[in-house]
Amino acid sequence: MKKVVAALLGSFATALLAQAPPPGAIATEVLVVTGRCVDADSGEPLRRCEVKLTGHQSTGYPISWARADWSDPPEQTTGDDGRFRFELRLPASDEPLDRGRYHVEISHARHAGWFSHCAFVVAMERGGVDYGDVRLPKGVWPRVRCIDQAGALQPGVVMLLKALGKAPDASPMPSNGPSSWVSNSCYARTDIDGYLHLTSPLPAGDYQLEVRDRQTTQLPGVITLPSREPVTAVVANLDATMAIHGRLLDADGAPVGNRLLKTDDKRPWAVTNRDGRFTLLPGEHLGTGTVKVQLAHNNRFDGWQELADAEWGSTDNTLVLPTASRHTFLVRTTDGSAVERLNLHCMRAGQRERGGVRLSGTFANGRVDCQLPAGDYELLVSPLDARLASTDWQPITITDVRAEIAVTVDAKVERSVEMHFADGTPVRGALVEVIAGAEPGPFAWVLPATAIDERRQGRPKSLVVAADRTDEQGRVALQLPSTGELLLRVSGPTVRSAVRAVDLRQPRPPVRLEVERGAVLSGSIGPASALLALDLDRTEEPRISIYDYCSRTAPTLTIVYDEGRQRREGVRIDTNGNFRVEGMPPGQVEVQLAYWVKHGDSSRRLATDPPLLGTFTLDVAQPLQVALQLPSPGDHPDDDKR
């Protein structure tokens, strides 16, 4: 009988896991990004456009780099209607949301490429982003080559081909988006044949060519594309004593291309060609003597590994990648079912550098193949399925013998919560967070449990282990990975933010909670130009680019309530001076301006006497909207220290 029950349970679990996996357990919002690719001239839909959306954070990494339960959505190829649509579940952020953004990139074989970006917080405030018709002009493939004064083709030379004038149909460029433009430049290296190979065509028009890291002796003036003849850039011959030439091979003697090499932090890095060859240049200072040649662990420059010594002027350096053996990780549930959608992080044990592998995606039969040098590692596996729990960091040892390493993940338990107000009205759209550890307070920022702790040197006192929003009936089902003491934090537009201790460890009917109604304060503060000038990370002329993130030291608001006994810190102000505060208790509140001032040559601190912008009375029945005025310079004592 026990065997029959076990078999039935195993079959049920297998069938459950075979269904379409739900989003990650701590995912809290859905961002929808849509559009249609059309020909700029005719307006006809474009087939076979490759569309990619990546969820970048302020570092430029995909979120899966530091978020164990999230990955970029699969690329899409447009069909006959030219449409694309992405539904992106945003995980709980491990940094302020206004510093994160998504990127959309479109490429086509016969049309110019297109790029867009937008801050997550802006896109969510808009209710998603619909780009409508993305008009792509016809593209041309330029032929650009580089030779030296002797006429020899030069591989690995960095070139910038940039259009003269603005990109066609470029949208306005607010710092936080959504911004978009047709790609009218390329920044790349010449290949082993000395030619510049583009990933997408460029619009026809006039261009300017620049060469980086090499002294030029002849550059064409204005380049008009399309052009029948190849465009040629001539660079000075390399001084044999002022460079390091070589080749990067693997343990079997095969060339290794597209790997980053450098000699030290102040000199230009090089990328190996497809044949493994490379040239290292000395940069600003003349190269003399022997130096260490270093290899990057990945294309993000985070972690360099010394390969060998080399002398400036040497031409026959053969560098060999450290021996790495192939291993297979077998990821299974406790009942033996294969886990196919997952993130896997295998990092060097006890090292702060990010050496190891990070893999994210779908792996057939739960088999994840990778290559790692022998040594001690720490392994973390996080399934992209809300019903399965991530493993903790576990020590493993990699040998130089091919092996299969079994990894088991546990199933989570589902617990339900039902929320209502005192009059019995269900609480709709409230965010319910399950927090393990110390009580963080109603407005404190808490690290999500699925954030990757790279250094693994202790954990925060509080972690969000699950979160979701209540439905129309005020109910929410939460997948819980642990059985420790848990707290519930409730917040939302109509709910007074609060933290409650609730026993979610035992199976039971839905836990019913009565919550209080909360008040909303929104408005603007101006002038916005003066507000931005308080941000020490901005220049007098704020640059507008895809890297112009909201600063961690940007001005914020502090809300003081309950007659000064409690404070809410760090209310975000957007670049237009707008703000919104939810979940406040009714009654009188004070609004103060918090900003940073210089403290010495290289540090800063919060202003010690923040100016009061106003005192207001909040009512749960009616959201309050106010217009605040930024104090004039000299009205607060820290102004002379800025």
Summarised one tens digit per residue, pLDDT across range 491-531 is 988 999 999 988 776 777 788 999 999 999 999 998 877 77
Architecture of domain 413-514: Sandwich (2.60)
For 24-59, letters b (16+ CB in 10 Å) and e give: bbbbbeebebebbbbbbeeeebbeebbbbbbbbbbe
Q: Which two tokens stand for residue 554?
A: 């940007």
Decide which of 1.10.10.10, 2.60.40.10, 3.30.565.10, 2.40.30.10 is the CATH code for 21-136.
2.60.40.10
Query: 500: helix, coil or strand?
Result: strand
Q: Which fold has domain 244-320?
A: Immunoglobulin-like (2.60.40)
Q: Which two tokens stand for residue 590?
A: 């004070």
At 365 the pLDDT is: 95
At 353 the pLDDT is: 53
Alpha-carbon separation of residue 72 from 99, 369, 402, 542, 557 (angstroms): 17, 20, 30, 30, 33
- The Cβ-side half-sphere exposure at 619, using a 13 Å CA radius, reads 4
At CA 346, angle to CA 340 and CA 349, rounded to 5?
Answer: 155
**Partners of residue 417 on adjacent β-strands:** 476, 511
Alpha-carbon separation of residue 344 from 111, 339, 347, 394, 454 (angstroms): 37, 12, 10, 12, 13
Give the domain ranges of the chain: 21-136, 139-235, 244-320, 325-409, 413-514, 519-641
CB 461 within 8 A of CB 437: yes
At 543 the pLDDT is: 46
Q: Determine the distance from the C-alpha atom of residue 383 to the mean position of all C-alpha atoms in its chain, rounded to a whole number.
A: 19
The overall average pLDDT reported for the chain is 83
Give all strands (DSSP E) within 297-363, no chain letters.
Answer: 304-311, 317-320, 325-333, 341-348, 356-362
CB 339 within 8 A of CB 387: no
Per this entry, what is the length of the chain?
A: 642
Candidates 15, 11, 20, 12; CA nearest to 362 is 20
- The Cβ-side half-sphere exposure at 196, using a 13 Å CA radius, reads 28
For 234-257, letters b (16+ CB in 10 Å) and e give: bbeebeeeebbbbbbbeeeeeebe
Dihedral, 523, 526, 532, 535 alpha carbons, nearest 10: -80
At 172 the pLDDT is: 54
Low-confidence stretches of the chain (pLDDT < 70) are 1-25, 27-28, 57-60, 92-99, 167-175, 265-266, 283-287, 297-303, 351-355, 453-460, 482-484, 505, 535-552, 601-602, 633-642
Pairing of strands 431-437, 462-469: antiparallel
Q: Which two tokens stand for residue 555?
A: 């001005």
At 100 the pLDDT is: 75
Q: Alpha-carbon distance 455 to 448, whole Å? A: 16
- The 10 Å Cβ neighbour count of residue 582 is 18
**What strands lie across the sheet with 304-311, from one edge to the other?**
270-271, 260-262, 290-296, 304-311
Decide which of 2.60.40.4070, 3.30.465.10, 3.40.50.1110, 2.60.40.10 is the CATH code for 139-235.
2.60.40.10
Candidates 518, 496, 517; CA nearest to 442 is 496
Pairing of strands 403-409, 325-333: parallel
CATH of domain 519-641: 2.60.40.10
Architecture of domain 325-409: Sandwich (2.60)
Domains 244-320 and 325-409 share a fold: yes
Rg (CA), the chain: 28
**In angstroms, how far is the first alpha carbon of the chain from the final one?**
77
